[in-house]
Structure 1
């Protein structure tokens, strides 16, 4: 079968012929239909410091996907050939304290699909049945392919109540855009999105946010003034990992404000802890998705009318992966989809 492989310990990806995966006990064999390109995949392609430290090559990459079930192992229930599925890309041990307590997203021994084991950028993959999410209601293939990052957005955005609140989202990448769509959908009052990319800010406007602010030109405090806000933001969703973005968010939070931080910084940086203490600001780190409460919430949100289509901006055949990755790396687009049927 064809697969996108990190064949060598150097920058680049290779479209290669690899053996089809063999179905193991408790697993599901899936024919891949669509995949989404993630920032992690860009790091792997570039073979940066994180990738050099983390990967063992050769490796089939990719963890955002949807596909059709081809075969299930004996004993697997509630999943049948022909089902449309997505997959939870964090494979957990099931034995540590958090797993045993039902907090599987906090497993200390998580294995990452497409990072620590062969992934989804291939014509077929196998996945433990416990990691397979069956779409029980109709969903577009492109949207089903991005349930993994959509889950990051939902996990972050639902961490703190947002109904009637003023929400600041720093970072208008695909996950930030999905979080913005969700915040508006669930009834936040003012949703403000910040970035330095005019193209991504325009996507945020299409999602109906109150204000899409280019912070290279206009500070957050001025955006608050334009909206008639006086006391700061109630909820902050930090999606960029940018030190300046978090510092500006902290400076513009209301007393008692709450920050959910998904953006992953490249290195340590200083923040104003005096303001966090004196304003009693809560900062909570977010990683991955809650298994599987987040997945249930995603499906219900889509069923009740949440529209993610503006977030998906470009589609390519998997054979044109280099162009697709270049587009994703430009920092000017939303989500990029690879079609494995074309």
Structure 2
């Protein structure tokens, strides 16, 4: 079968022929119908410091995907061939402390599809049955492939109450953009977004932001004006950018809530006294999706039409054209980019 792999350390990827994954007793072999490119995939393409320390080439990339069941292991008896599915990309051992305590998404022994084991930028991918999520047959596979990042947005928004509250999203990447309609569906009174990319700010307006502001053009005046000088009730930090983090906490009102999803590339200096201690802020770190609470929330949001992710998909490519897909994704001038094997 075909697979887009990181063949060796250094920049770039390659399309190669590899064996179809073996199916273990508890595994499900999935025929991939749509896969979306994540920022993590771009980091691996570029071979940054994180990638060099984590990735062990050769490995097939891709952890955001949808497909149909192609084969099952002998211990699997509840997934007929042809069933439409996606999968939770974080694989953990059953019985681990974090699993039994309801914090499966934080397990230390986690293995990630497309990072630590072969991923879904391929014709087929194999995953454990317990990680398979059955999709409604009417759900578009392209939308179904977005559930991994969409789940990050849902988890971040629902980490604190947002109903009737003002929300600031720092970073209009794809997850930040997804968080806009999620916050709206959760009852947010107002949603403000900051970024430096004009295209992404335009997309934020299209997704329902009340204000979409250039982070370099002193957005504080507009946000403070919109909140009557109080500051926002909730900060959703999606960028991982040090300046955006500082700006976000500056605009958070005393006693406000902050949920941090963005990952800085290096250690960030924080004004501990002003932003956290004397402000009395409640701060939560967000990682991945809560299994499976977040997935059920996603199903409801997509199934009822409360959230429409279709405007975020801007480019589609065949798997053989992966290079063009990564070129447009790396340009920063795209929304979500889909690969179709």
Task: Give the drift of 1:136.
Answer: 3.0
Task: Give the drift of 1:219.
Answer: 2.1
Give matches, 1:121-140, under 5 Å: 121-136=121-136, 138-140=138-140
Per the alignment, residue 324 of structure 2 pairs with 323
Per the alignment, residue 263 of structure 1 pairs with 262
Per the alignment, residue 11 of structure 2 pairs with 11
Q: Is the 8 A contact 1:137 1:303 kept in 2?
A: no
Structure-1 separation of matches of 2:107 and 2:221:
39
Q: Is the 8 A contact 2:89 2:112 kept in 1?
A: yes
Per the alignment, residue 60 of structure 2 pairs with 60
Task: Give the drift of 1:137.
Answer: 5.5
Q: Is the 8 A contact 1:30 1:125 kept in 2?
A: yes
Per the alignment, residue 149 of structure 1 pairs with 149
Structure-2 separation of matches of 1:87 and 1:6:
21
Listed one character per residue, the Cα deviations across residues 219-248 of structure 1 (whole Å, up to 9, x for unaligned) are: 2333331x2532111111000000111111
Q: Is the 8 A contact 1:84 1:135 kept in 2?
A: yes
Per the alignment, residue 239 of structure 1 pairs with 238
Runs of 4+ in 1 over 4 A off after TM superposition: none
What value does the CA root-mean-square deviation take over the aligned residues?
A: 1.2
Q: Is the 8 A contact 1:68 1:84 kept in 2?
A: yes
Per the alignment, residue 340 of structure 2 pairs with 339
Q: Is the 8 A contact 2:157 2:179 kept in 1?
A: yes
Q: How many residues align?
A: 339
Structure-2 separation of matches of 1:141 and 1:229:
43
Structure-1 separation of matches of 2:86 and 2:315:
20
Give matches, 1:181-220, under 5 Å: 181-220=181-220
SS in 2 for 1:287: coil
Q: Is the 8 A contact 1:66 1:84 kept in 2?
A: yes
Tell me if 1:254 matches 2:253: yes
Per the alignment, residue 25 of structure 1 pairs with 25
Q: Is the 8 A contact 1:6 1:45 kept in 2?
A: yes
Tell me if 1:39 matches 2:39: yes
Structure-2 separation of matches of 1:326 and 1:158:
33
Structure-2 separation of matches of 1:136 and 1:290:
20
Structure-1 separation of matches of 2:201 and 2:78:
42
Listed one character per residue, the Cα deviations across residues 102-149 of structure 1 (whole Å, up to 9, x for unaligned) are: 321111110011111111110011100001000135211111011111
SS in 1 for 2:43: helix
Q: Is the 8 A contact 1:36 1:145 kept in 2?
A: yes
Q: Is the 8 A contact 1:213 1:220 kept in 2?
A: no
More displaced stretch, 310-319 vs 231-240? 310-319
Listed one character per residue, the Cα deviations across residues 180-208 of structure 1 (whole Å, up to 9, x for unaligned) are: 12112222111001000000000011111
Distance 1:233-1:137 versus aligned 2 partners, 3 A rule = farther
Task: Give the drift of 1:331.
Answer: 1.6
Q: Is the 8 A contact 2:223 2:251 kept in 1?
A: no
SS in 2 for 1:20: coil
Listed one character per residue, the Cα deviations across residues 44-88 of structure 1 (whole Å, up to 9, x for unaligned) are: 111121111111111111111000111112232432211111111
In the superposition, the TM-score normalised over structure 2's length comes to: 0.97
More displaced stretch, 309-318 vs 212-221? 212-221
Task: Give the drift of 1:14.
Answer: 0.4
Per the alignment, residue 89 of structure 1 pairs with 89
